[in-house]
Amino acid sequence: MVRLRPNQRWSLVILALILGSQLYCIGHAQTQSPLQSPLQSRLHPNGSTGSIGSASLIGNSTDTRSDQDISPGWPYVFDESGFHFYSLVPPKVLESQIQGVLRLPDELNQELGITLKGLNVHILVFDSRRSLDEYLHRYYPGLRAANSMYIRDQGPGLILTWFHADWLVDVRHEATHALLHAKRVSIPLWIDEGLAEYFEYPSGSSSGESFAIKSHPVHTKLIHTQLRFGQFANLEEQERWDPNKRLSNQQYRDAWGSVAFLLNHSDQSKEEFRSYVKDLLENRASGNLSYRLQQTIPDWRTAYTRYYREHSVASSIR
């Protein structure tokens, strides 16, 4: 996740990208791929700038550059369930993976016992790492390039990514951030990243089946190695993480480890965690989770290590 400096107001950029794009609708049609739905309308058929035109965006009413000059000229724009896609990749190519993105809010709601409403997440899909890098260089100079990123500012969430083999995983990670931050509340870094890591892989469960991801293709193995050296994710230490610092790989591992443990260790630990997240999202005084867990998990280290040792065999089963 990336937090913007004041001079990087993304909201001054994103709306320009709509111009010149076609609007597709990801609906629920049974006989026709919704991603292949014909053009519904052009958002600005006359190419007028209006409130979202290029001139207003670049802050210079005399600038005569075309929209193509200030944006990649998104050929595909489609909306569904609060997700707004702006893509250089044809919808037909994305189609098999889009549902994995659209399912995410339901999975979060189900697993965390929350109700996410009023979602508004913009996802930019570039066709290559190079085109993403060029866009970053132009509009967000100074940001470190990555396969994907979530940019949080005053407006709705913005996700930048390029289409690659792990596209869905990356988008679900960033979209989890965007959904959690939709209410503009403060979320401890270990929970923010832990949940993003936890939900980055689709559950693959059929409707009605309980959502539960108990393993991660990378973190689970690393945790087992960690345990062999007598190390474990220390919750109280995680609660002191500086929200302005980038996490190390070990910290991502521990964030996932704590979240996965709490959601799957026992009904009581799951309920404590859900209750805590709910308090955070409702902006209620929540304190530290480690304090609230004193009754449920009096010895975190023992419970944590035992849980992952017991799941060493089952860890390969998602």
Q: Nearest 10 degrees: CA dihedral of 3, 81, 173, 4?
A: -10
Give the nearest distance from C-beta 226 to Zn ion in angstroms.
20
* φ, ψ (nearest 5 deg) of residue 107: -65, -40
Chain positions contacting Zn ion, by CB under 5 A: 1, 193, 196
Give the nearest distance from C-beta 54 to Zn ion in angstroms.
32
Which CB atom, from 26 or from 121, has the smaller least distance to Zn ion? 121
Q: Give the SS3 label for residue 278.
A: helix
Which CB atom, from 148 or from 286, has the smaller least distance to Zn ion? 148
Which CB atom, from 190 or from 304, has the smaller least distance to Zn ion? 190
Which CB atom, from 54 or from 176, has the smaller least distance to Zn ion? 176
CA distance 178 to 198: 14
Give the nearest distance from C-beta 172 to Zn ion in angstroms.
11
Give the nearest distance from C-beta 218 to Zn ion in angstroms.
14
- The neighbour count for residue 20, using CB atoms within 10 Å, is 19
CA distance 148 to 110: 25
Which CB atom, from 88 or from 112, has the smaller least distance to Zn ion? 112
- Name residue 86's beta-bridge partners: 77, 124
Which CB atom, from 80 or from 200, has the smaller least distance to Zn ion? 200
Q: Nearest 10 degrees: CA dihedral of 40, 83, 211, 2?
A: 160
Give the nearest distance from C-beta 191 to Zn ion in angstroms.
11
| Identity of the residue numbered 119 | L
Give the nearest distance from C-beta 287 to Zn ion in angstroms.
24
Which CB atom, from 193 or from 272, has the smaller least distance to Zn ion? 193
Give the nearest distance from C-beta 1 to Zn ion in angstroms.
5
Nearest CA to 150 out of 118, 188, 128, 179 is that of 179
Q: Which residues contact 213 (CB under 8 A, 6 or more apart)?
A: 198, 199, 201, 203, 260, 318
Tokens of 115: 């109700």
- The neighbour count for residue 37, using CB atoms within 10 Å, is 16
Helices (H), the chain: 11-14, 54-58, 67-70, 91-102, 104-112, 129-139, 167-180, 189-198, 219-228, 235-238, 249-264, 267-281, 289-292, 300-310
Give the nearest distance from C-beta 173 to Zn ion in angstroms.
6
Which CB atom, from 1 or from 277, has the smaller least distance to Zn ion? 1
